[in-house]
Structure 1
Amino acid sequence: MLYKGLELDRFQEEAIAAINRDTSVIVTAPTGAGKTVIAEYAVEKCLQENCRVIYTAPIKALSNQKYRDFHAEYGDKIGIVTGDVVLNPYAQVLLMTTEIFRNTIFDDIERLQDVSYVIFDEIHYINDIERGTVWEESLIFAPQHIKFVCLSATIPNINPFAEWMQSVRDIDIEVVEELERPVPLKHHLYFKDYGIGSIKHITALRNRAKSEARKRKSDPLNNKRVKALPDDFTQTRLVPYLQREKQLPCLYFCFSRKGCEENASSLVFGSQLQLLNKKQKTEILRQFDELCIQFDIVEEKKITEFRRLVSCGIAYHHAGMLPTLKEVVERLFTSGLIQLLFTTETFAVGINMPACTVVFDSLEKFDGIGFRYLKAREYHQMSGRAGRRGIDTIGYVYAQIVPAYADSGEIRTVVADKIEPIESQFNLSYSSILNLYQKYGDDIYDVYTMSLSNHQNHVRVAKLNKQIEEKTETLQTLPEPECIHDGIDGSEQIQKHYRHKRNIEKKIRRLHVEITQVKSETRKKKKQKERVKRLNAVHKKIILLQREAEQSLCEGCQHLQTCTNRYKTIRREEERLQKLKKRTTHIQNDPRQQIAARLKVLEELGYTEAQTLLPRGSTAAHLYGYEVQLTQLLFGGFFERLTEAEINCLMVAIITEPRKDVYFKPLNDERLLEILYAVNSEIAFIQYLESKHKVTEITPMLEFRFCTAMLAWSRGCEFDQLEKYAHLDAGDFVRTFRLVIDQLRQIRRTMAGHTALVDKLSRCIGKINRDVIDAERQLRIGQENLDEMAPEDDVDNVDASQAAAPENPVSDPQAQ
């Protein structure tokens, strides 16, 4: 089958056939296999049939890219609604983040009545610990007439996942699975300072590295040759090798921003590496200069240094950069002129920018708690960017390891084809619970039975029950202690023996403590008689206890050891059985208990009563993220007491996560500090109720670190002056301020009808949403046909209640 001039693969044809049959379809295929074509077909079909279609993506960068791609082809039939941007929100094809779609379901499901298809790109994000519940809630509660096109990287447990999805959807669901890549990959290990090999070389290189380290330590001047490297090992430096073997362009994944920048700089400013010829260098500098002018970043810091990097065909890309500079890098990489791009793992999510080669700076990363090896899913998601379809016959993957510390077992697990199955992360927020409680009342607990979590737990419970059954049978076959004395139960006797023995030993230990105390109190010579008298009394007690222990029927019995072994074996198996039963009970009851706990918190806060939502509950139900804190503050009059800049300061304190490694200028405004401390008191009461009812996730306190920066920005300071108030990367300032705008827009929409507050919140947004913070401005500038776009006078005042989706998602790390 030909589509857009391309001969489709089998799995693409099967997926398109399912769409033509008006069914839902789940497509799972390796990264880079061509899943996007299926989504494009669904969009085109809906346009031809005059139906509406929603395309959701896990990150805003991917939403923006898809918007540009579709807009270039279909023009004003395309719109986008994210927390940052609202453009053409009534369009036939609407791009949005998954949070926006879920929020639309809860806010006003009627808005989705004319939607035929919803495309979930990167559906395996349902496995994400923090955000996966959003995908699950969307699939469960979306109107039943909606058909889904779910695109995913390889999912090992695709069939159980499809079974669950079919259990909550009325329309038939078909599964299309592709395991082969159109461009095969060759995986290698790069042993730092040595060369290129494979897993089989780990032991030899580890031993050599350790041997060399010992020699350097014991005799630095010893130049004696060490054992030669294996014959099938390539001794080389990696980047020159890639250049020599024509394996560029390359995506070089680092797991820190600092690593990205240092690696790029060391090659350009240290090694003087040049990856472009004279003509390519001229062209990339021309494009770079034009893009910097277009995005108005010519005067930004690091641009001169960055220009030097790109002149060599080298660049870096990470979340700490200005979003506009990131977009410049993305466009240059798409042009094929950047040959080596050092980037963090966010570049691997969805954005269609493949390369010939992928390199991992390490197979370990810091996950916020400690360093761990990559999961196989993460490795394959990133390595899947290697191999450009229609250009490369083979894609190359190199993982750098330090030989002396390489763990061959862990490395085998990472690079193996056995990818971890997706697991449910179903976890209803306060807002979701309020929306569902309003609809279902006390039947809200039945909602959990619809979740993927419950579906997977049925399987887990069945396995546990089988283990319980096996343990129970094993217990019944174990020989019990048998007492030689008539009429005595062996098990009870041996248990009584050891219980009595433990009690006596405990009493004797106390008496030994008493002996030490007597000796301490009677050190002087004149207390010598008292000392002897008191010690004798204690020793007599010890002797009596020892005699008492000897009176046990088991003491001295020749069968004691046999009975003891049997007793301990039975006890050990009983403990294992109890653990299995406890685990089973936890799996079955914990999700319901958490819903119940949060409902109790909401009831005590005055959000619910008699299965109905009170005014506070109705307000919190329309806020997605920080809903309880914000509702308490709205009803407590805090927003009326603060100025616009102070409200922005409060909001940034709510949404910011604690960071101890960042300098910040302390807040010195006594009046504002007093109000912020009062806010913390409100949050402390919420925390008290959560602890009381054993809610697992506790509402966080305010984080003051970026308050002075937000105050300065809201009062008009220049962007490059923000570093005086907090040592933060430019991209972090942008992302944090945009998250504040997200939340302010949610509050403004929720408080519609309160004219004075709505106007005040609009002014708050206006004080933040300027210059590089303005995401819509960036998207508009990025449009090739910018002049042909119909501008909207005031996006901030778009009535989201009339649009196809609300203005903003739950605050999340999508701005990367």
Structure 2
Amino acid sequence: MSLRDKQRVIYTSPIKALSNQKFREFSEEFSDVGLMTGDVTIAPNASCLVMTTEILRSMQYKGSEIMREVAWIIFDEVHYMRDRERGVVWEESIVMAPKNSRFVFLSATVPNAKEFADWVAKVHRQPCHIIYTDYRPTPLQHYLFPSGGDGLFLVVDEKGTFREDSFQKAVNALGAASDNGNKRNGKWQKGLQAGKSGEESDIFKIAKMIMQRQYDPVIVFSFSKRDCEILAMQMAKLDLNVEDEKKLVDTIFWSAMDSLSDDDKKLPQVSHILPLLQRGIGVHHSGLLPILKEVIEILFQEGLIKCLFATETFSIGLNMPAKTVVFTNVRKFDGDKFRWISSGEYIQMSGRAGRRGLDARGICILMVDEKMEPSTAKLMVKGSADPLNSAFHLSYNMLLNQMRCEDGDPETLLRQSFYQFQSDRALPNLQKRVKDLEEQRDSIMIEEEDKLKDYYSLLEQFRSFKGDIRSIVFSPRHCLPFLQPGRLIRILSTSGEKDKLSFSQDEQLTWGVIVNFERVKSTSKDDTDVRPEDAQYTIDILTKCRANKDNSRGKIVQTVPLTEPGEPLVVAVPLSQIDSLSAIRIYIPKDLLSVEARENTLKKVQEVLNRFPDGVQLLDPEDDMQVQSSSYKKAVRRIETLEGLLAKHVVSKSPILQKRLQVLRKKEELTAMVRAARRQVRASTSLAFKDELKARKRVLRRLGYATSDDVVELKGKVACEISSADELALTELMFSGVFKDATVEQLVSLLSCFVWQEKLKDRPKIREDLESLLSHLHDIARRIGKVQLECKVQIDVEAYVNSFRPDVMEAVYAWAKGAKFYEVMKITEVFEGSLIRAIRRLEEVLQQLVLASKSVGEVQLELKFQEAITRIKRDIVFAASLYL
């Protein structure tokens, strides 16, 4: 439409690979198409421009001519806006887009599209229509494959019905397989190992079955690059291509590799993957050489790869559907812990199954190897997409660019952000919540409320001193000599749920007998130096227990008084749960494995208790246990005083005291909830990020990037140009003269610390000249971190300093020196693709530094950065994309 009406149109996507793909598609259909990603620029004056969203943002800040002529901006994959790091770029671009242009937002997974459309309509004062389908054009069937099993179980059919019976069968099959576990000896291990030779791994079984039933092509998702490769290697016995297809793969592969030098053609990754590709098996992850990734994508599109092992990025960045999708694991590591994948992630990946127009239905297979709660599985396969929530956050580059623009103002940007819109949206509900809670609280009428409150606070003090005494008497120093097996012990019962807590001076207690005690192993390295009396201990106690089901955590075992029903169990409790130790010890059998032995022992305990109707003799803390501390004596005196006050108190005689105290506690809880809700309302009514904005402006003033009147200074002009790496640290390095003194190789090597993000297990040794540059960078980072802390920006200074990682300094140094890629790969342990991505980002940063030097008239530096670009921009690292 735009081309017909002689208007300009911009198409943006989150990922360079997708932009390249779209450029190719559009070029075939319309001739007048250009491309702008950080790596490549083709026909920048074309009427239809394909670009990454980052490029759009920088064009907006630079006031590019193109922005004035644009009639339509298409944002593809707009759900990327919820991305933690890059999502904010979408919000900036949408808010700052020219007022006379129109927009199209595309996404397969935005359940709260109405909210998003309302925001766009509000910011741009133009209607925003939602066109949606709430069904899949190609329906999906979801199957479970229990580890070690032989079959598939259909758990969700194409109508979207969850089949409970079939799910139970799958879970039982999993149980059966794990009961024969000794025989299989952990054969599963995420479907990787093949167990004994001759035994087929689970993934091999599934792949074979998929091929027999003609469910191919299939994408097998795995969450680690290594796993993808190991799994693919296990398929080496399968051959999925006929002779003609093999020849075709060979032709396509080598014509793609033609652009490489002879040395690069000999790279292990290139030579190892061809035999797999010829068999119709592929691997796709970020560690592959970009050119290989593209060959594999093309082969997959042409139907020459029947089985592809890929990481999650494949489902986000490319439009490549298959007939079947397999999940080898339903847990992933998200940076700090392993967790189940969310229903949103599952939808994104399973969405690759089922090709529109080709398949009647798509098939998803979940390989499950752990006892997966039905609710977890149900949530995953029947859940909804993650809502599009704002991931807005402030950056110094954004603030400086806003200050520099003539009509820019960071506060306006904040006010118009989706984040602020969502906060305002939530306000009426929050206010209603405050009102409801207040009404609920005020409806509770208590007679003599003040006197009751007074009694309640005495009781709380009494409890707290009781706890103090406990922590002194039952500290390891005093009680370890008395924790012999067989001693009767009284502990705080864990069965009293919060609401049933007794409001008398006696807490719910239960008797048991000590079996043994042990030191808790610490996770810290210096555990060996801890003195015995400072260590942590738990005691194993035989007592009555009851198991309660708690949905979130499975079963919870709770101790109960001996007179109540329950089963005799040995439980580990911390010292803090001891209430008192008795002077009596009984004989306990060495072996308590049988229920009978445990029952008999507890009968003995009960007999002893029955013999002393006035209570068993307890160890006296002062006389028997030699507790002599002044804080203990003080606490005892306070307790005696409180006991007197409680006994004499007016309300203590009330027959329904317990009930009244429970009502009072409910009221106190409501008061606390009202306070919290009011805080939320206050936070929502004030401008989001207001304090952080002030703090960050303070940092910019203190470091000399802007004046108190928000005028951008020389340093600020440099930081405005840098968006691909840490703008403050780079600017400080530039102004400290480090770049002037360093050689080109050293400079490139130092910059690699800004673009390398993966964590390596052991840091490689680096040469002295680089080591001194690195420590200079770390000093600068530490200084910036401290200034931010002083200005009240929340930051962990050491984590910030360590985020500049030297892992690839040596490799990049060698590359800048002119080494061949295969030589560089011998220096470092990293994946080829990861290194190439880092060097490409490095080139992007260098381009920005060239512009930065130009903007402040540093001609010498500008030439130096240009030379650095020339040094690193060569061979396989910058091989042109096959899509272009």
Shared fold, TM over 0.5: yes
Match of 2:715 in 1: 616
User: Is 1:676 matched up with 2:641?
Assistant: no
Select 1:447's aligned residue among 399, 413, 436. Answer: 413
Shift of 1:338: 1.1
Distance 2:638 2:865 in 1: 79
Match of 1:261 in 2: 229
Distance 1:573 1:538 in 2: 31
Distance 1:541 1:158 in 2: 61
When residues 586 and 100 of structure 1 are mapped into structure 2, their CA distance, relative to the original with a 3 A threshold, is: same
When residues 462 and 491 of structure 1 are mapped into structure 2, their CA distance, relative to the original with a 3 A threshold, is: farther
User: Is 1:688 matched up with 2:688?
Assistant: no
Shift of 1:351: 2.1
Q: Deviations over 1:664-705 (max 9, x none)?
A: 531122x44333322222211211122233424557222122
Match of 1:291 in 2: 256
Secondary structure, aligned partner of 1:685:
helix
Select 1:577's aligned residue among 662, 671, 674. Answer: 674
Distance 1:698 1:85 in 2: 36
Match of 2:689 in 1: 591
User: Is 1:146 matched up with 2:101?
Assistant: yes
User: Is 1:58 matched up with 2:14?
Assistant: yes
> CA contact under 8 A between 1:494 and 1:564: conserved in structure 2?
no
User: Is 1:656 matched up with 2:756?
Assistant: yes
When residues 772 and 766 of structure 1 are mapped into structure 2, their CA distance, relative to the original with a 3 A threshold, is: same
Alignment of 1:335-350 (within 5 A): 335-350=302-317
Shift of 1:553: 4.2
Alignment of 1:700-715 (within 5 A): 700-701=800-801, 702-715=804-817
> CA contact under 8 A between 2:402 and 2:408: conserved in structure 1?
no
Match of 1:811 in 2: none
Distance 2:179 2:381 in 1: 30
> CA contact under 8 A between 2:53 and 2:89: conserved in structure 1?
yes
Amino acid in the other structure paired with 2:14: P
User: Is 1:600 matched up with 2:698?
Assistant: yes
Select 2:144's aligned residue among 160, 170, 189. Answer: 189
User: Is 1:394 matched up with 2:361?
Assistant: yes
Secondary structure, aligned partner of 1:190:
strand
Distance 2:467 2:206 in 1: 66
Distance 1:249 1:135 in 2: 34
Q: Deviations over 1:146-186 (max 9, x none)?
A: 21121111321111110101111134322211223333322
Q: Deviations over 1:499-518 (max 9, x none)?
A: 6646876897899799x99x
> CA contact under 8 A between 1:280 and 1:337: conserved in structure 2?
yes
Distance 1:708 1:264 in 2: 31
Q: Deviations over 1:760-812 (max 9, x none)?
A: 000111121111221xx413x654xxxxxxxxxxxxxxxxxxxxxxxxxxxxx
Amino acid in the other structure paired with 1:276: N
Match of 1:230 in 2: none
When residues 441 and 575 of structure 1 are mapped into structure 2, their CA distance, relative to the original with a 3 A threshold, is: farther
Amino acid in the other structure paired with 1:282: K
User: Is 1:433 matched up with 2:380?
Assistant: no
Secondary structure, aligned partner of 2:866:
helix
- Supply the RMSD in Å over aligned alpha carbons: 3.2
Match of 1:747 in 2: 849
Distance 1:536 1:153 in 2: 69
Alignment of 1:150-549 (within 5 A): 150-192=105-147, 193-199=149-155, 200=164, 201-214=166-179, 217=182, 237-268=205-236, 272-296=237-261, 297-402=264-369, 404-416=370-382, 418-439=384-405, 444-482=410-448, 489-495=450-456, 497-498=458-459, 501=462, 547=644
Distance 1:537 1:429 in 2: 54
Amino acid in the other structure paired with 2:455: I
Shift of 1:244: 1.6
Select 1:773's aligned residue among 871, 877, 880. Answer: 877
Distance 1:93 1:540 in 2: 84
Shift of 1:723: 3.0
Amino acid in the other structure paired with 1:135: W
Amino acid in the other structure paired with 1:252: V
When residues 219 and 406 of structure 1 are mapped into structure 2, their CA distance, relative to the original with a 3 A threshold, is: closer
Shift of 1:657: 2.6
Distance 2:633 2:34 in 1: 94
Distance 1:594 1:251 in 2: 44
Q: Deviations over 1:624-645 (max 9, x none)?
A: 1311111112222221121111
**Unpaired segments ≥5 residues, structure 2:** 156-163, 186-201, 482-627
Shift of 1:729: 0.4
Shift of 1:744: 1.0
Match of 2:70 in 1: 115
Match of 2:28 in 1: 72
TM-score of the two chains, using structure 1 as the length reference: 0.79
> CA contact under 8 A between 1:109 and 1:143: conserved in structure 2?
no
Secondary structure, aligned partner of 2:131:
strand
> CA contact under 8 A between 1:387 and 1:396: conserved in structure 2?
yes
Shift of 1:51: 2.0
Match of 1:644 in 2: 744
Matched length: 697
Match of 1:225 in 2: none
Shift of 1:322: 0.3
> CA contact under 8 A between 1:622 and 1:750: conserved in structure 2?
yes
Q: Deviations over 1:35-85 (max 9, x none)?
A: xxxxxxxxxx2223322221111101001111222233444x322221111
Shift of 1:358: 1.9
Match of 1:762 in 2: 866
Shift of 1:477: 0.8
Secondary structure, aligned partner of 1:130:
coil
When residues 585 and 595 of structure 1 are mapped into structure 2, their CA distance, relative to the original with a 3 A threshold, is: same
> CA contact under 8 A between 2:9 and 2:72: conserved in structure 1?
yes
Amino acid in the other structure paired with 2:775: Y
When residues 211 and 66 of structure 1 are mapped into structure 2, their CA distance, relative to the original with a 3 A threshold, is: closer
* Aligned-residue identity in percent: 29
Amino acid in the other structure paired with 2:663: R
User: Is 1:724 matched up with 2:854?
Assistant: no
Select 2:40's aligned residue among 73, 78, 85. Answer: 85
> CA contact under 8 A between 1:461 and 1:587: conserved in structure 2?
yes
Match of 1:813 in 2: none
Q: With CA pairs under 8 Å and 6+ residues apart, which has the higher RCO, 1 or 2?
A: 1
> CA contact under 8 A between 2:146 and 2:173: conserved in structure 1?
no
Shift of 1:442: 11
When residues 209 and 539 of structure 1 are mapped into structure 2, their CA distance, relative to the original with a 3 A threshold, is: closer
Q: Deviations over 1:253-276 (max 9, x none)?
A: 2211122111211111xxx21112
Secondary structure, aligned partner of 1:54:
strand
Secondary structure, aligned partner of 1:426:
coil
Distance 1:185 1:278 in 2: 33
Q: Deviations over 1:578-623 (max 9, x none)?
A: 2222333344445222222211211221222222222222221222
Shift of 1:327: 1.1
Shift of 1:537: 11
**Unpaired segments ≥5 residues, structure 1:** 1-44, 221-233, 484-488, 521-530, 784-816
Amino acid in the other structure paired with 1:377: G
User: Is 1:46 matched up with 2:11?
Assistant: no
Match of 2:196 in 1: none
